[in-house]
Each structure stands twice: as structure tokens, then as C-alpha cells.
Structure 1
Amino acid sequence: MKWVKALQEITPYKPGRSIEDVIQHYGLKEVVKLASNENPYGCAPSVQEWINSASIHTEIYPDGFAASLRGKLAEKHGVDEGAILFGNGSDEIVTIISRALLGPDTNTVMAATTFPQYAHNAKIEGAEIREIPLTDNGQHDLDGFLQAIDEQTAVVWICNPNNPTGNLIPSDDLKSFLEKVPSDVLVVLDEAYFEYITDPGHVDSMTWLNQFSNISILRTFSKAYGLAAYRIGYAISDPTIITELNKVRNPFNNNSFALSVAEKAIEDEAFIEQCRALNHQQRERFKQYAQEKNIRLYDSETNFVLMEVPNDTDVASEKLLHDGLIVRSGNALGIPGFVRITIGSEEQNDKLFQAFDRLWMEG
């Protein structure tokens, strides 16, 4: 086979262990999955009720324009309907952007470490990847980003809050950075965890769309909305950017049922507010636990934390599996010595803290 040369340097995405797999392998009765940053509270009850009663004409193709959901999101964010691009999860939008803008004669700038799909897609397109190390506290080095940008830079990726560290870039710093980026460079603000932010000083980047015509804001229904199974993500940009990206997007890339579920979900903002409050409450528990145990914990504005473990990260993750807890090893994320833990419910976190006590006692 005449495979694309870039594939020789890439390995397929390796998903974490499933609940069913861990139950069977370790002989457990109950397993808590805290590895993929899913919403432990599920989706809104109003959405679940709608799902149970919904009917879809299975023989009809989806609305390729996603008109109904598009209209509601445009109203929600105060943007033109032509400013929205839908993807099969925001992952697909990363692929669309990469395919539209990256190639062997371009480079792309991103943090190290950050969401791995940026680099993955850039490699496939043959672009040069310029990774700027995070600061000691896990923040983006925006000055380093500016130094790395040149005439061949096509895309800059900013994951905010960042995955896997959870750090939120101060709004003043980010806005100052955007003011210095050349106008022909697309800056992607990947905000998958936007709904979990509680920092009172944070400014919604949607308010910057009129000032910066070269930004693309990514959001998703997979996290706070609890709809990861339906794969609905979206980007909001200047309509001229969306027009070009739509040339790359596959038609009917979102299925009818998923579009309808997402449309129902945005009607229940009270559920999002409840999840944000519950998550913040439990996130504070992690901070308090780390302080009491003198364990290093990255500052997070997401629904996950990156927490220190006493030994090799894979070993620690394996021990936690024996306790019925699935977490993400930092070795797989490029941050050894830490595990990424989804912030669960109060009961789930109680179990996690008890297992962490044993982990540190055993060393």
C-alpha cells in the first residue's frame, strides 16, 4: 500500500480502559471512570426525557446546514448564523482546520503539553510543528508563542482552559497576545471546558469576535452538557473563515438525532449552572485535599485535575484500577508523575480520596 509518509511517525489514538473491561479484568463489582472528563451527572433530565420519547425519520438524511440548532446557537451567542461551523465533536473541527490551512510549506504553533489532536493532524498534513513548553505552573508561554510565529505560520492553537493541566489563561494576557498576532494567522481558541469556568475575572472570548477577525472559538456539547455520545462540537468565527472551512467539511457530518438532542440541551441552561456549581464545589475539595496532603495539584478551571502521584504514573494508575478507579496516566499525556482525574460526584470523589490515601501510604 502507498500510505502517506507521515503515518510512519504516528500511532493510532489509544482510548482509556472501559468500565466493562476493568470490571471483567479485575473481578470488581463497581468501577468509577474518572479518565475522560465526562459529566458525572449525565445530561439534563429534560434532555433525557426528550430522548426517551423522540422519533427520527431514519430514511431521511440529516439537515446538512443544521438550521434549527444553528439558529438557536446564533441567538445564544449573538452571532450571525453564517459564523458557525458544526463538527462531529470539536475533534473533527480540528481536522477540518488542519486540512484547510496546513501543509508542507506551513508551520503551526501550540503548547507542549496540550490536546494531542493538534499535533496529530498537523503531522498528517505534513506541516512543521512548533511546540512551546508550558511554564512551570502549567500555563501557556504566550511570549514564546509570539517568538515562534513567522510568515509561514498558518494556525496557532490555544487550549483554554488547557488539557491536560486545566489552567486558564488570564483574559488580559490572552487579549494582549491576540493583538500582536498577525491578522493572516488563524488563532484557534479551543474552549471545550468553557462551561466549567468560575473565575470571576474571565472574559468570554465571544465578545472579541468583532475585534479579532482571525480567531476561531471551539465549543462542545460533550463535556458540561453531558452529550459525549452524540458528538456535537462547533466553531464560531468570522463568516469568511467559516465559508472556507465548509469547503473541507463533509456533508451530513452530524446525524439527525444528535442535532436534535443538542438543540434540546441548550434550552436547559439551569442544568449547566447546576453542573458548574457542583463541579466547582468538588474541585475545591481536590484543592483542599492536595494542600492537606502536601500533594502538587495544577490550578484548574475545568472538570478535571492533574494531581501528583508518589511513584511511576503507570504504576499508580494500575493500583487505582485495582480500587475500581479509572484515571488517565500522565505518561500518556506527556506529564509524568501526575494523573489526570475527572472531577466526579461527591460519592465518587470520596472513593478517590480514600484510594489516594492508600496510594501515598504505600509509596
Structure 2
Amino acid sequence: MNWKKALDGITPYKPGRSIEEVTRMYGLKEVVKLASNENPYGCAPSVKESLASAAIQHEIYPDGYASALRSKLTQKLGVDEEAVLFGNGSDEIIMIITRALLGTDTNTVMATPTFPQYAHNAKIAGAEIREVTLKDNGQHDLEGFLKAIDSETAVIWICNPNNPTGNLIPSDALEAFLGQVPPNILVVLDEAYIEYVMAPGYIDSVTYLEQFPNVILLRTFSKAYGLASYRVGYAIGHPAVISNLNKVRNPFNNNSIGLAIAEKALDDEAFIEQCRKLNHEQRKRFKHYADEKKLHLFDSETNFVLIEVPNDSDDASEKLLQQGFIVRSGNALGTPGYIRVTIGSEEQTSKFLKAFDTLWQSEGSPV
């Protein structure tokens, strides 16, 4: 078959081990998945109730315009209905943007390390990828981004807060950067974890859209809303940008249940606020633990932390796996010497930190 040359060297996404697989492998009674940044508190109770009574006509195609969800979401955001694009998770929107703007005659700029789907999709499109290394503290090198762009740059990707480091770009620095990007370059601000941000001085980036029509925001119901299995993400941008992306979007790309559940989830802001506070409390525990052990921990405004390990990342991940904790090795994220850990509940955090202590014991260091 005449496969695209761009596929050479690309490996399919390999998901981490499931709870069921780890349970069987190691004969464990309890396994906690802390590898995919899911919400340990699930979804809002009202959402669970609505699932039991959701009246879905299974033989009818979904609402391709997502009318009810669109109306409620845009009212909440204070934007026009034409300013929103829905996707099968924000992953699909990344693919839509790539398909609409990137090709062999373009280049795209992104950080490294960052969310790998930007580069993955750009490679398939045959675009030149220009990666700008994060600063030592995990922050984006925005000056480096500006130096990397040229007349053939079509898309800039900024994961904010960044995955896998968790860093949030200060609002004043971000706004100053956006003001220097040529208006013909699309700047994608991927804000999958924005509901977890507690940083003082943070300015909601929706306010940038009127001033910078070349900016588009990506958000999702998969993280804080606890609806990862329903795959509902969305983009917010200038109506002209959204209109062109809609030309690429597949019809009926969101299923009926996902749209209905996401709409219901918007009603329970108290649940999101509770999750934000609980997450912040456990995030502080990780910070205290890292300081106590003199381990480096990147500043995080997300529901995960990237923490240094006293041995190899794969080895540390395996030792934690044997104790029933599924985490993400930094070797797979471009951050060797670290592991990425989803912030769990208070009980899960206590058990995890106890398990983490064994990494020190295996290295002959005091706990």
C-alpha cells in the first residue's frame, strides 16, 4: 500500500496498563490509577442521577449543532454561539486544526516537552515541527517561540497549564506574547486543566479573544468535570476561525449521551469548586513532601504533579505499580528522572506517599 511517508517512524498511541490488568499481574486487592489525570471524585451527583433517566432516541443521529449544550455553554462563557466548536474530546479539535492549517509547506511551533498530540498530528500532515525547549523551571520560553516563527508558521501550540510539567504561564507574560505574534498565525491555547487553576492574578483567557482574533482556546469536560469516557471537548474562538474549522469537522462527531451529560454537568458549579479545593489541598501535600525529601517538583496548577524520583523513571514506575499505583514514567514524557502522578483523594495521596517512601528505601536512603 502507498502509505504516507510521514507515517514512517510514527508509533501508534500505547495506553498505559488498566486497573484490571495490573490487578491480575500482581495479585493485588486494590489498584489506584494515577496516570491519566482523571478526576478521582468522578462526576457531579446530579450527572449520575441524570444518566439513569436520560431519554435518548438511540436510532436518531446526534444534534450536529449541539444546540442545547451550545446555548448553555456560551451563556456561561459570555460568547456568541458561533464562537464555539465541539469535538470528540479536545484531541479531535487538535486534529481538525491540523487538517485545516498544516501541510508540507508550513511549520508549527510548540514547546518540548508538552502534550504529544500536537507533534503527532503535525507529523502526519507533513509539516515542519519547531520545538522550543521549556525553561528549567518548566515555563514556556515565549521569547524562543517568537524567534522560531517565520512567514511559513501556521500554528503555535501552547498548553497552559502545560502537560506534563503543570506550569501556568503568568497572565501578563501571556498577553504580552500574544501581542507580538503576527495576526495571520493561529495561536492555540490548550486549557484542558483550566478549572484547577488557583494562581492569584490569573485572568480568564476568554477575555483575550476580542483583542486577539487569531487566538483559539481548547477546553474539555474530561478532566475536572469527570466525564472522560464521554469525549466532549470544545474550542472558543473568533467566529470566522470557528467557521473555517467547522468545514473540516465531521458531522455528528459528538454522541447524544455525551452532549446531554455535558449539558447537565454545567449546572453543578459547586461540584467543580469542591474538586478544585480538594485538589489544591492534596497538591500542597505533594509540595510539602517534595520539599521534605529535597526532591524537585514542578509548580503545578493542574490535577497532577511531575515529581523527581531517586532512581530511573521506569524503575520507579514499576516499583509503584507493584504496590498498586499506576503512574506515568517521565521517560515516556520527555522528562527522565521524573514521574507524573495524578493527584488523588486524601486517602489515595496518603497511601501513594507511603508507597513512594519505598523508592528511597530501595536506594538505601533514609525515609
Report TM bin, short chain.
over 0.9
Farther-moved stretch of structure 1 (49-58 vs 279-288): 49-58
The CA distance in 2 between the partners of 1:240 and 1:9, in whole Å, is 36
Kindly state the Cα deviation for residue 310 of structure 1 after the two structures are TM-superposed.
1.1
In structure 1, the residue matched to 2:30 is: 30
The CA distance in 2 between the partners of 1:309 and 1:293, in whole Å, is 10
- Residue identity opposite 2:332 in structure 1: A
SS at match of 2:156: strand
Q: Does 1:172 align with 2:168?
A: no
Q: Give every structure 1 segment of 4 or more consecutive aligned residues whose post-TM-superposition deviation is greater than 4 Å.
A: none
TM-score of the two chains, using structure 2 as the length reference: 0.98
Q: Does 1:246 align with 2:252?
A: no
Kindly state the Cα deviation for residue 147 of structure 1 after the two structures are TM-superposed.
0.3
- Residue identity opposite 1:101 in structure 2: L
The CA distance in 2 between the partners of 1:308 and 1:43, in whole Å, is 30
- Residue identity opposite 2:356 in structure 1: F
In structure 2, the residue matched to 1:335 is: 335
The CA distance in 1 between the partners of 2:208 and 2:24, in whole Å, is 50
Deviations 1:133-164 (A, max 9, x none): 00001110000000001000000000000000
In structure 2, the residue matched to 1:147 is: 147
State the identity %.
72
The CA distance in 2 between the partners of 1:338 and 1:312, in whole Å, is 8
The CA distance in 1 between the partners of 2:199 and 2:47, in whole Å, is 28
Kindly state the Cα deviation for residue 55 of structure 1 after the two structures are TM-superposed.
2.2
SS at match of 2:218: strand
Deviations 1:44-69 (A, max 9, x none): 00100111121210000000000110
Alignment of 1:1-363 (within 5 A): 1-363=1-363
TM-score of the two chains, using structure 1 as the length reference: 1.00
The CA distance in 2 between the partners of 1:120 and 1:358, in whole Å, is 36
- Residue identity opposite 1:359 in structure 2: L
Kindly state the Cα deviation for residue 283 of structure 1 after the two structures are TM-superposed.
0.3
- Residue identity opposite 1:32 in structure 2: V
SS at match of 2:201: coil
SS at match of 2:108: strand
- Residue identity opposite 2:306 in structure 1: L
Kindly state the Cα deviation for residue 2 of structure 1 after the two structures are TM-superposed.
1.1
How many matched pairs? 363
The CA distance in 2 between the partners of 1:95 and 1:270, in whole Å, is 33
- Residue identity opposite 1:134 in structure 2: L
